[in-house]
Amino acid sequence: MNYVTIRPELFRWAQERSGLSEGDLQKQFQKFHLWQSGKEMPTLSQLNRLAKKTLTPLGYFFLPEPPKDELSIIDFRTVGDEAIKQPSPNLLETVQTMQRRQQWLRDFLIEQGEQPLAFIGCVNLSDDVKQSAMKLYKLLDISPDWAQRHKTWGAALSALYLAIERVGVIVTINSIVGNNTSRRLDINEFRGFVLSDEYAPLIFINGADAKAAQMFTLIHEVAHLLIGKGGVFNFSNFLPIENSVELFCNRVAAEFLVPESKITADWPNVKNRNKPFEVIARKLKVSPIVAARRALDLKLINKADFFEFYHGYQDDAQRKKTTEKSGGGNFYATQNFRLGRRFADTVIRAAKEGRLLYNEAYHLTGLYGERYDKYVEKFEARKKL
């Protein structure tokens, strides 16, 4: 048999990078502990299987030392006071896929003579938060009471999603890597990210998050576009962070979704109710944690009150998560969110008009052959409604 010589530390690096335990890999590869110790080496076939299992490019195993996985965008993620240093393969691949899509769309729009979007970078960190939130209402052509016009968080989120797309932003919502249901995105790692650009700004929302929480992430990322700065974001535990960009974007998002004037006016009437933050959340279509955090920021409650509510809410959410079953949904309807309708529409038109090869359209969308054709058929039928 043909064995390949690999440095032992690369096996340890691949295991840690994948998020799998040594025990997980030991079940799949009986000699994994021997490979790690350097006492034995795998065959090329075994190494290839290990690469797929750990989501590691095969060539990485032949490097003299483990490479450093680094995000190509600013990393605003935190756990407590410590920055998260190691992005997962799922996050890395998702960012890279979105960057490829953005680059194609940017080049295409410039080629078509489109003008840059004026709102990118129109706000400074020194600007007033309330005035910045008002700019956002004006940009999206909605009023401060927009959310109350919708019956559910889902309906409010959809309306917001469409309003942001109308101003030229690609909005993508996905809970997995591409269409691979076995590679789920972890909200503890990131809630979303934004790729700022004057022609093709892109927002990615982790669809594994609750819809009301997605709304905060969405507006937080639009605030990033207003100041012209991209990055990946997790807003860990909805706790304060010491970063001027994130603090500003959090404050603008909070003012946009939970205006100070509204919560301070409602607070005397709801503070003694059984679940005051749920009452505010239902009215404003935000997460109860966002409502509680806003109350803390405005000193309507103290930190002890916030943490008591926060930990209780998290425990309840976890119990619900373990008992609820999720459906698979309609694959083709889901693609509108996984691709972003604006992006999908541009790719489809470019391919039909001969300005984009179909093989390139397949690669950009992750849909191939008949599956791509069926998606286009359903997409265009929905546009006619």
Percentage of residues of the chain with pLDDT beyond 70: 92
pLDDT value at 114 more than 70: yes
Average pLDDT of the chain, as a whole number:
89
Domain boundaries, the chain: 8-62, 78-253, 258-321, 331-384
Per-residue confidence at 228, pLDDT binned at 50, 70, 90? very high
Q: What is the pLDDT of residues 152-204, one digit of tens each?
A: 878 888 899 999 999 999 999 999 999 999 899 998 889 999 999 999 999 99
pLDDT value, residue 383: 80
pLDDT value, residue 352: 95
Where is average pLDDT lowest: 71-80, 206-215, 277-286? 71-80
Where is average pLDDT lowest: 239-243, 269-273, 358-362? 239-243
Q: For the chain, what is the HEC assignment?
A: CCECCCCHHHHHHHHHHHCCCHHHHHHHCCCHHHHHHCCCCCEHHHHHHHHHHCCCCHHHHHCCCCCCCCCCCCECCEECCEECCCCCHHHHHHHHHHHHHHHHHHHHHHHCCCCCCCCCCCCCCCCCHHHHHHHHHHHHCCCCCHHHHCCCHHHHHHHHHHHHHHCCCEEEEECEECCEEEEECCCCCCCEEEECCCCCCEEEEECCCCHHHHHHHHHHHHHHHHHCCCEEECCHHHCCCCCHHHHHHHHHHHHHHCCHHHHHHHHHHHCCCCCHHHHHHHHHCCCHHHHHHHHHHCCCCCHHHHHHHHHHHHHHHHHHHHHCCCCCCCHHHHHHHHHCHHHHHHHHHHHHCCCCCHHHHHHHHCCCCHHHHHHHHHHHHHHHC
- Most trustworthy range by pLDDT among 232-246, 278-292, 334-348: 334-348
Per-residue confidence at 41, pLDDT binned at 50, 70, 90? very high
